[in-house]
Amino acid sequence: MKTIDDFNFKNKKALVRVDFNVPLDADFKVTDTNRIEAAKPTIIKILEDGGSAILMSHLGRPDGKSNPDLSLEHIATTVSDIIGVQVKFVGNCVGELAEKAAKDLNAGEVLLLENLRFHAEEEKGDKGFAQQLSKLGDIYVNDAFGTAHRAHASTTVVAQFFPGKKCFGYLLAKEIEAIEKVMKTGEKPVTAILGGSKVSSKITIIENILDKVDHLIIGGGMTYTFIKAQGGKVGDSICEDDKQTLALDILKQAGEKGVQVHLPVDVLAADDFDNNARTQVVAVDKIPDGWQGLDAGPKTLENFKSVILKSKTLLWNGPIGVFEMEHFAMGTIAIGNFIDEATQAGAFSLVGGGDSVAAVKQFGFEDKVSYVSTGGGAMLESLEGKILPGIAAILEG
């Protein structure tokens, strides 16, 4: 696996795919700079070697047309502030304008190209467009994990024009290593904590990780499909009736592979899907009609805690309750605290997937786990066992 440390960028122009798809407010100010900060170490390494960096990214969904509201020019000042170097901007990513700006770039300078997705060819993975991009740099660096699962021109196709001169940036290399620690090299016991509302959205992940984990904790809304499948009463809780056979099959597969599955034993139920609804703690398989489980109960959390604290490698994907409502966030917060405690004791913990990352940020666990993945869809496809096109393109030499 070639990383940025395998190259010296002295007098070289690095064409760097970053993920600067950041949120902007009504005044076009960046409201969350995490993705820009995450790319900084890669950019700094190139500059300190004596090279220059040409940054390419998408922003939003302009559908192949120029859209001033989605211009990357809006973020140039923020990128300059974070990197500590005045970033130059050019109003296209291919063609004469871009080629001249890249050619005129001196060592130690940074150029930000205009939004890749202003060209429909980007998302189509057009080879001619990728070749135009390739003219801008000497070495290709992919540091955009969030788009590594897309076979777009800038994430995948462009790599073929840099034989022997392509590598992963620090962020993408870290993402790959974190997933490998869970899926291949992690110290046992390995525990996966899967939450979220639907079994159907997690089925491929579950099937792929059963060979890798020792314990599988299931929480969140998908709990009730498993409980109902085993004959329990789930009241008005969310449930995929057409996935009950699948749930039983997962439990059977886990048993055959020696994986211990831990389901909730009690839940915090409410008489309405509302933060101010009446609540009661009930057995997970005896939820009364008119009531629905919205969070894990106290006995469940004690059970989960003992499993998590014994674990040496932890993967957390998906919340344990409806954490967006304050009264049903306690289970998710508790899981975060248990993972924090296990991590302090030496476990490796990886958090990934949109909702769990949102929860980790909301409740201040970002610095208390080993690694928070920056790529939602890319992370999930990695856990499903897929080789992401953006990663394969670099590994192909």
List per-residue pLDDT tens for the chain, 397 residues long: 899 999 999 999 999 999 999 999 999 999 989 899 999 999 999 999 999 999 999 999 999 999 999 999 999 999 999 999 999 999 999 999 999 999 999 999 999 999 999 999 999 999 999 999 999 999 999 999 888 888 999 999 999 999 999 999 999 999 889 988 888 888 999 999 999 888 888 888 898 899 999 999 999 999 999 999 999 999 999 999 999 999 999 999 999 999 999 999 999 999 999 999 999 999 999 999 999 999 999 999 999 999 999 999 999 999 999 999 999 999 999 999 999 999 999 999 999 876 888 888 889 998 999 999 877 777 878 888 888 889 999 998 6
Is 84 within a domain? yes
What would you report as the CA-atom Rg of the chain, rounded to the nearest whole angstrom? Answer: 23
Q: State the CATH number of the domain containing residue 226.
A: 3.40.50.1260
Q: Examine the domain organization and report whether 196 and 230 are in the same domain.
A: yes
Residues annotated within the binding site for ATP are 202, 293, 324, 353-356
Q: Examine the domain organization and report whether 191 and 148 are in the same domain.
A: no
Residues annotated within the binding site for (2R)-3-phosphoglycerate are 35, 117, 150
The pTM of the full predicted model, rounded to 2 decimals, is 0.85
Kindly give the residue spans of alpha helices, DSSP state H, lying in 50-185: 76-83, 95-103, 120-124, 127-134, 170-180
Residue where one domain finishes, among candidates 168, 198, 226: 168
Q: Examine the domain organization and report whether 194 and 338 are in the same domain.
A: yes
Q: Examine the domain organization and report whether 286 and 350 are in the same domain.
A: yes
Query: Looking at the 3D structure of the chain, how many domains does it have?
Result: 2
Is 396 within a domain? no
The residues assigned a catalytic role are 35, 198, 354, 377
Q: Examine the domain organization and report whether 36 and 21 are in the same domain.
A: yes
Q: Examine the domain organization and report whether 216 and 108 are in the same domain.
A: no
Name the pairing type of β-strands 266-270 and 233-234: unpaired
Give residue 330's domain range.
175-383
Q: Examine the domain organization and report whether 273 and 196 are in the same domain.
A: yes
At 319, give phi and psi (nearest 5°): -70, 165
Q: Examine the domain organization and report whether 142 and 201 are in the same domain.
A: no
